[in-house]
Structure 1
Amino acid sequence: MALPLLGAALYEQVQRSAQGWLDEGLEDTALTLAGQVDVRGGEPRIDISATMDRALRFDRQDDVFYLVLAPDGSVMQGDAGLADLQPRSQAQAAGRSSYRDVKLRDRDLRLVQLGHECGAGACQILVAETLHKRDALQRQIGGLVAITGAVLVVLLALAAWWAIRQGLTPLTGLSAELEHRDLHRLTPLAARLPRELVPLQAAFNRLFERLASAAETQREFLADAAHQLRTPLTSLQTEIELAMLEPHDQRVDPLLRRLRQRVERSARLAQQLLSLARTEDRTVDLGQRIDLRDIATESGQDWAHRALPSGVDLGFELAEAPALGHAFLLREALENLIHNAVNYAGARARITVRCGSGPQGAWLEVEDNGPGIAPADRPAAMQRFRRGNTSSGSTGSGLGLAIAADIAARHGGQLALLDAHGGPGLRARISLPAVPGSVAAT
């Protein structure tokens, strides 16, 4: 709103100054005529030669008119038509002048009237010109002011854009930093911000402190609860197995087997909860150089001493797979994938554990020929306490795939649920980033 008013004021000022200069030019012509008036014997006289008349009237753009009137109003020299424009009420005293816009024969004129001492009174000298150069000058001034205003608007807009951009750059950086924060990354914000944004940064840091404290309390509770559950559940499982070995009524065998199955499931759940707490432990060093083949070998030796369901064939196809991470967590992820395959693939299942590396990094996968998981159900299957639609008859808790996915994410990788090679089943693959400087195995 201020800029148009400023432009109008500037236009008015420049236009008034230009009009003043042109009016002074008219008055100079009137003064020249006044210099030609001579008073002899008390009678004013003026003698304008043809050459001087042409000089007085010369103008490249406008027509110039002039008239010299005696004190009594009689015409002494010039264009008599101008006499009608000089009523006696507007006669000027000697040495005084006035300006006004007039109309002569339907032509707009600018007129200056000058009073000049002529003995007994004041002669009136009138000089007028058409408005062509004044109109042209007015248009030029208007165009110049408009261009100047437009340039000023553009410059102000650029300055405002630059100022806003500079002012919002720290806020944009803060927003980008907050976008990557989660419960696993609650370190204080340390960006250098303008003084006005420092209280906001401090408020976020205090919020992160409270969230980190709450998350740590939750992890400690989960770990303590799982740890406290493992001992009594293990003892209960041992007591049930001893009871099954002692002489007893065979009619209670189904009951004891169901009890053992429930206790085994509860013990497995406690172990998974403990693994979940360890997965979320931020103090774990994930930068250790490891080989996924060693982790898979250790798991294979462990599973070789376990009682697998009847007909289950567990095989291993292992290749060198260097990676950066934490061996215990990755072994826990593999354990959950194998246990998930054994639990859901069914009788006479064929389960294969593989590992290797490529240009994108190392990978570890467990494939089975069971019923698999429908593609539409796979995202939900990797959420905590969610199980696939084909798992209604199993004894899982819905944590195995979620734990494996969390461990993969902690290592900068991901867990993908894929179709099995060449038939029905599921292939769960953990992909990890490539180790800097390592050469992919062929």
Structure 2
Amino acid sequence: MISGPPSLRRRLLAFLALPMLGLLTFNTLLAYYIALDYSNRIHDRNLTDDTVSFAQMLGTMPVSSDLSPQARFLIEYDPDGHRYFNVDSSRLGTIAGNADFSAYAPSQDCSGTHPALYEGELNGQQVRMSTVCTQAMNDPQDQLAVTVAESMADRRQRAREILMIVIPLMAMLALGMAALVWFGVTHGLRILTPLTSRLAQRRGELAPISDADVPEEIQPLISTIDGLFARQAEMITLQNRFIADAAHQLRSPLAGMALHVDQALAHGDPETVREALQNIRRLNQRTARVSTQLLALSRAQTVPETVEALDVSELVPQWVGMRVPEAIRDGIDLGYLGPQQPMRILGNGALLHEALDNLIDNALRYAGADATVTVGVQALDDNDVELYVEDNGPGVPEDVMSRLGERFFRAPGTAASGTGLGLAIAHEAVEHLGGHLGYLNRPGGGLKVSITIPLLKGP
């Protein structure tokens, strides 16, 4: 069975209806027991009054083994059922009665002045009994214990009658409350209408939707949606920037290749064609490098999905070793300096490799032939670790130091080819790793670029 989408209205009504149904059931039972208690108290009062009246009547009559028909009718008559009675004399024993009270009446204490109420069973029925004591008229030494009992059934019947009166009223109240709950939930959910209207009127906007009319209860949801919009806006901005950067950087190489193709076609001699092909290959290599760097920048600008504990004292030497053949080819002394003990950080390995590899690439490219490039790892204190790349090349003028890391910026006077994206890639990657990228001209010449990242504490 395929169910429909979840409904907030149905959920709210269910959460309210079930407790209301339980409360109605509880109130019905409570009403019954209250009615039964009320019925018991009324019947108990009538029972004690009748017992006292019967005892007073016997106190004015001579003690006899039988009662007059008028007295018997008076005590036995009960419009709701049958009534039982018993009269015990302290000297003569049972002198009158219509049931066997031997298990109850003789055991009652006649020292009190108020009637005693208790429950028992007579002739297979549950009964309520009342006993009161009085002096015999013709014998001051004799004491009469007068007991009157009535069935409990009529009490329960009165309680049920009261309940039958209360139930329709409670049902009407329940229906009224259900209607009010339905109206309240339906009307209350209309507070979402302005928010829904604002969203429906949007045409690709990713601005926050939070406003003063947003209910407090759904504020966490709205904050989450605003966060999603912000991330989407950031991604779109990065995509637009990537497209603009790609168009800016690829326009010149592509135009140059088209120019050389036209030149080769216009001049058919082999030397001109050879020269054009060499230029096209150079421009193609530049285009490929620009494309690679732009993709790397795009990856570096994206927040990494996974992070893990990384031992930089183990990983950095491996990454440096990957660039050693290139350094040997260019006549550059590339080395590593670091500790033997583990130094762990929390981050994304691919992103950290991208950042450090671009720093090494910049050093190999701009330090010059016969230069020395050192990649190192060291602990700054108990909280941070530093990964650095330093060379003994020409360094960077102090007046442009603050612009390092800008996209497509290259220091003036740089002879080596490049895209101006290496430090930008490193900057974006390090920022997502929660670290800091710093630049420093060495006193003896050369540049030191460092990545400072918090150490991972604990095992």
| TM norm structure 1 | 0.44
